Amino acid sequence: MSENRTVKKEERSSRIKKSVVLSGLVGTGGLFIAKMLGLVYSIPLSSILGSDAYMAYYGNAYRIYNYILNICTAGFPLAVATVVAKYHVKGDYKSLLRIRRLAIPILGVLGFAGMMFMMIMAKPIAATMLQSADPSSLAIMTALLRLIGIAVFLVPVLAGFRGFYQGLKEMEEYAFSQVFEQFFRVGFMLSVSWMLVYVFNMERKWALYAAVVSTSVAALAGILQYYFFDRRKIKEIEEPAEVQTYEAQSRDVLIKEFLALAIPYLISCIVGYGDDIFNTILLPIGLARKGYDDATRDVILSACNYVGSKINAIPMILGPGFTAAVIPHISAAMAQNNRRKVERNITDCLNIILYIALPLSFAIGVYAPGIYHVLYYTEDLATSSNILAWNAVEGLLGTVVPVISTIMMTLGFRKSLLARLTAGAIAKAILIVPMVSWLGYPGAVLCSVLCNGYAGLFNLLEIHRKQNVSFRATIRIFVKLLFGLVLIFLISTILNHVGLDPGSGPRLVCLVRLAVNGLCAMAGYGLFTWWLRIPQKIFHLRRRKKTA
């Protein structure tokens, strides 16, 4: 029995490694569970914190953390995955071992540099973000940034392990690691925060501190988990390396390959993930110029940077999930000079992301009042739900555009990608404050549509022109999906009018209404697109032939 299970497990793992669709879905599945845990924990945490201001502080701290972390991790882990995929296809196991010995120390150094930056710059960043003269608020925000800076050191080390095994297409372990880390984080966060407030009767700011410390605790647990996995799995590389007849690639050559890939990735993250900086530093300036008072700004920033980031994480998991899958698959196909496979991997990836992300982001906008009323604390439901609905557009852009950028980077179109990302970031930095001053928060979203949309569209045009990738089928699918979104809106509107409006009434009752309403709308979308044979095409579902 155990042998049969082992054989079946190896066969399943082999199928996943051969398919960018399965690899992406497995990676996304793990991230989905992790993000759902993040969504679930945010509900009791918002109750424990009990303040729009504290929720805004928490969201702002994580925006800065995510930006610095992306700079420290998005370059080398993706470069490691790309180089590992290349040498794995070649069967150069000695070079794979050398890559492993190089990758983790380099990422540790990058993480340490990021941590020191957070420690030193915490106070000036906090003062700029808050736009307030309150010394207690400044002290809390500064402490949060310094505490979360510890995770900036630990998480890159964990990313080094993930990048190495991502390159080997070990997507099941990649998914498990994400879930394991998040379970540990949520368990520590909620238990410690709850005890500090309700058992020890401490101020709620200590629950806020415990919430950010949980990221470092979970990262340590994730490193230990990967360490034991690595001890078992690395034998599959060490054994063929012992009988390999030729030497490994030199350390200098490997470092040059890392840098050639990592530096463009790094620059793309600095300019491509600028929304975290814009929404925490420039957005408050624009809101203050618009004339909002401190309380209204806290409501808007809480809805944007805390609740918006949590809810938008649901569609946005497709980005890192499929990015993790598409890099080794495209890299391997290019190493084999298989252009047809490269095109198939690109279009499969984009089609699936559009099919899932479009209805999810649209549903967030449609059900924003119900989501906020049922799940989150706010002092102004109308304003908060309106911000969440607008923020769903940012979530869709944040799902699709980074994946297109990763494809561009993997194909080697780095200079033009960086030029577009830089132009878009500069344009947004210039436009966001005047547009928010003029239009309020919607101005920030429209600014993103202009600047990020420009980069995504022209990157696709370059992929089409230089790589000869046809997007005609993707465009046809996109147009059909728009009709599916209309159906979601119609179903939700009808159900609202027949008594299933989740935006008002007792929370428990509204939770049931939200679930029934949302499930009916998404079921309608699924049946409509199935009738159009869209999922059959993008997931390569084929009817089994009947045997006599």
pLDDT (tens digit, 9 = 90+) per residue, 333-363? 777 777 888 888 888 888 888 998 899 899 9
Mean pLDDT over residues 394-404, rounded?
Answer: 84
What's the confidence (pLDDT) of residue 548? 38
Who has greater pLDDT, 461 or 55? 461
Measured CA to CA, the distance from residue 353 to residue 431 in angstroms comes to 29
Mapped onto helix, strand or coil, the DSSP state of residue 387 is: helix
Of the listed ranges 42-46, 117-121, 256-260, the least confidently predicted one is 42-46
pLDDT at 33 exceeding the cut of 70: no
What confidence tier does 317 reach under pLDDT thresholds 50, 70, 90?
low
Q: How confident is the model at residue 516 (pLDDT cuts 50, 70, 90)?
A: very high
| Torsion-angle region of 50 (φ positive above 0: left; ψ -120 to 50: alpha; else: beta) | left
Task: List C-alpha distances in Å: 460 to 326, 329, 411, 470.
Answer: 16, 19, 12, 10
Residue 53 has what pLDDT?
75
Give pTM, 2 decimals.
0.67
Helix, strand, or coil (residue 283): helix
More confident residue, 139 or 482: 482
DSSP letters for 202-213: --HHHHHHHHHH
In this predicted structure, what is the pLDDT of residue 488?
95
What DSSP state is assigned to residue 545?
P
pLDDT surpasses 90 at 262: no
- Measure the CA–CA gap between 418 and 265, rounded to whole angstroms: 9
Residue with tokens 């809480």: 302
Helical spans, DSSP H, in 50-75: 52-73
Paired tokens of 127: 């003062």
CB-based contact 318:75 (threshold 8 Å)? no
Mean pLDDT of 528-542: 86
Range of 186-190, 309-313, 470-474 with top mean pLDDT:
470-474
pLDDT reported for residue 359: 92
- 135 has pLDDT over 90: no
| Section 475-499 average pLDDT | 93
Alpha carbons 368 and 311: distance in angstroms, whole number: 10
Query: Which string of DSSP letters, residue by residue, matches 450-517?
Result: HHHHHHHHHHHHHHHHHH----HHHHHHHHHHHHHHHHHHHHHHHHIIIII-TTSS-HHHHHHHHHHH
For residue 530, what pLDDT is reported?
94
Return the top range by mean pLDDT from 48-52, 265-269, 321-325, 416-420. 416-420
Q: pLDDT grade, residue 547 (50/70/90)? A: very low
The Cα–Cα gap between 221 and 158 comes to: 10
Q: How confident is the model at residue 399 (pLDDT cuts 50, 70, 90)?
A: confident
pLDDT value at residue 546: 46
| Closest CA relative to residue 426, chosen from 274, 321, 528 | 274
Model pLDDT for residues 38-80, shown as the tens digit of each residue: 666 667 777 787 777 777 788 778 778 877 887 776 667 777 7
Q: What is the mean pLDDT of residues 304-329?
A: 68
State how far the Cα of 25 lies from the Cα of 352, in Å rounded to an integer.
Answer: 9
> What would you measure as the largest C-alpha separation in the chain, in angstroms?
80
Residues 304, 320: Cα–Cα separation, whole Å: 21
pLDDT higher than 80, residue 273 = no
- Written in H, E and C, the secondary structure of 224-266 is HHHHHHHHHHCHHHHHHHHHCCCCCCCHHHHHHHHHHHHHHHH
Asked if 375 contacts 518 with a C-beta cutoff of 8 angstroms, the reply is no
Residue 6: C-alpha distances to residues 3, 141, 364, 407 (Å): 5, 51, 41, 34
Angstrom distance (rounded) from CA 263 to CA 269: 10
CB 326 within 8 A of CB 167: no
Q: How many CA atoms lie within 13 A of 408 on its CB side?
A: 30
Secondary structure letter of residue 75 according to DSSP: S
**CB of 468 within 8 A of CB of 339?**
yes
Residue 543 per-residue DSSP state: P
Give residue 483's pLDDT: 95
What is the predicted pLDDT for the residue at 18? 47
Give tens-digit pLDDT for 191-246: 888 898 888 888 888 888 888 888 889 889 888 888 888 888 888 888 888 888 88
d(CA 79, CA 75): 6
Tell me the mean pLDDT in the region 91-119: 85
Q: What is the rounded CA–CA span in Å between residue 263 and residue 419?
A: 14
Check residues 371 and 59 and name the one with the higher pLDDT.
371
At 271 the pLDDT is 67
Predicted pLDDT at 32 = 61
Number of H helices, E strands in the chain: 23, 0
Integer Cα distance of 406 and 404 in angstroms: 5
- In 3D space, the residue among 490, 516, 506, 511 whose CA is nearest the CA of residue 366 turns out to be 490
pLDDT of residue 521: 94
CB 526 within 8 A of CB 491: no
